[in-house]
Structure 1
Amino acid sequence: MKWLLIPFLLFFSYQAFGQEYLTTKGQVTFLSKAPLNEFEGKSSSLNGLVNLESNLLDFFVDLNTLKTGIGLRDSHMRENYLETEKFPFAEFTGKLVQLPTLIMGNKTPVKAIGKFKIHGVEREIEVAGFLTLAQNGKVELDATFEILLSDYKIPLPKLVFYELAQEQKVTINAILTQKK
């Protein structure tokens, strides 16, 4: 009877070794929650890799693809604060603290430690999130972390200081497909 259970367990649960997943259309969102103004910036051009065999995570986004819903704010953000002509990308490269066992349909909590680079400054951060193995064999990633703009030498607007919060909440959502 035990031998009947083995294929069932292998189908619905597996230790995630030898698995490499990619995305080119993940979503990254930042939330700026200043006292008098709250807004989001979004991009659906997040590129990323989760390699569970070598325990490597690598995600990057072209900051020129971020949109806040107001064109003038977008161009000010790119030109005056993010300086995307000099620093066009934000990137996170890291490792999972512990390799997960993915069970189909279950949100598995994960934690990563790595380097986040934006505006030419790289700092070590910790990112908490979830990996979910879908029935189609894809993996969904949901993660959130916070950064301080001053840690990355990103200036706040001087005249309208309340328009941009010092602390930014960054959220990542991506469906990753297994590399063939």
Structure 2
Amino acid sequence: MYTKLLLGFLTCIMLTAHNVKSVFVTKTAELTLFSEAPMEDIEATSKSAYGVINTDNGEIQFGVSIRSFRFRKSLMQEHFNENYMESDKYPTAKFKGKLNTPIDVSRDGLYQVTATGDLEVHGVTKKRSISGTVKVLNARLELSSAFNVKCEDHNIKIPSLVFKNIAETIRITLKGTFSTVK
């Protein structure tokens, strides 16, 4: 299902693009979540987040399969998917928005950007402005961003029994290298 969703997502973007050289994609972006808590820090990483950036119109989209996150401890991963994120019911997290700063892909450089759009996590969509950095290097884009997500904003329930084990705000870090569609 994840593969079909990804292929549909990328196909839709490619069909609507006027200039293929302005559409950059990745299927291997790294997304890390970090929860700092008194009892134990929790960290997980997915290396299969997908994304599309259209530098002509500034549109940007990202998605990640919730089940693609890997934890140090298998029990943490099980609890994350079954008890908190309900991965069978809400299999993906997505962001769709627009960059507020244009990117000149014709020359190498570093851009401080903000994307404004909709972040959907756990079936709840919230308007967000997310800052990051885009580095243009050798006709590729390297995107990095770090932002916080409050569990309560996306109706993610933390049982009172483990409330001290999980932070109310999760730190998300994104790193991805995008190439033009061929």
TM-score (norm 1): 0.86
User: Which sections of structure 1, spanning at least 5 residues, go unmatched?
Assistant: 1-16
Q: Tell me the matched-pair count.
A: 164
Q: Aligned partners of 1:18 and 1:138: how far apart in 2? A: 11
**CA 1:140–1:153: 2 relative to 1, 3 Å:** same
Q: Aligned partners of 2:87 and 2:133: how far apart in 1? A: 30
Q: Aligned partners of 1:53 and 1:102: how far apart in 2? A: 10
Shift of 1:77: 0.7
Shift of 1:65: 0.6
Q: Aligned partners of 1:149 and 1:103: how far apart in 2? A: 40
Name the residue aligned to 2:15: none
- Identity value in percent: 27
Q: Aligned partners of 1:157 and 1:38: how far apart in 2? A: 17
Name the residue aligned to 2:67: 64
More displaced, 48-57 or 103-112? 103-112
Shift of 1:18: 5.7
* 3-state SS of 1:72 partner: helix
**CA 1:81–1:99: 2 relative to 1, 3 Å:** same
Name the residue aligned to 2:84: 81
Name the residue aligned to 1:175: 177
CA contact (8 A) 1:157 1:164 kept: no
User: Which sections of structure 2, spanning at least 5 residues, go unmatched?
Assistant: 1-19
**CA 1:18–1:105: 2 relative to 1, 3 Å:** closer
Name the residue aligned to 1:13: none
* 3-state SS of 2:70 partner: coil
Name the residue aligned to 2:17: none
Name the residue aligned to 1:138: 140
Which amino acid is 2:75 matched to? L
CA contact (8 A) 1:91 1:117 kept: yes
User: Is 1:163 aligned to residue 148 of structure 2?
Assistant: no
Shift of 1:71: 0.5
* 3-state SS of 2:160 partner: coil
- Write the mapping of 1:5-24 to structure 2, written as runs, cut at 5 A: 19-24=22-27
Larger helix proportion of the pair: 2
Which amino acid is 1:34 matched to? A
CA contact (8 A) 2:29 2:175 kept: yes
Cα RMSD between the aligned structures? 1.8
Shift of 1:176: 0.3
Structure having the higher Rg? 1
Which amino acid is 2:146 matched to? T
Q: Aligned partners of 2:107 and 2:158: how far apart in 1? A: 44
User: Is 1:26 aligned to residue 32 of structure 2?
Assistant: no
Shift of 1:106: 3.0
Q: Aligned partners of 1:50 and 1:23: how far apart in 2? A: 9
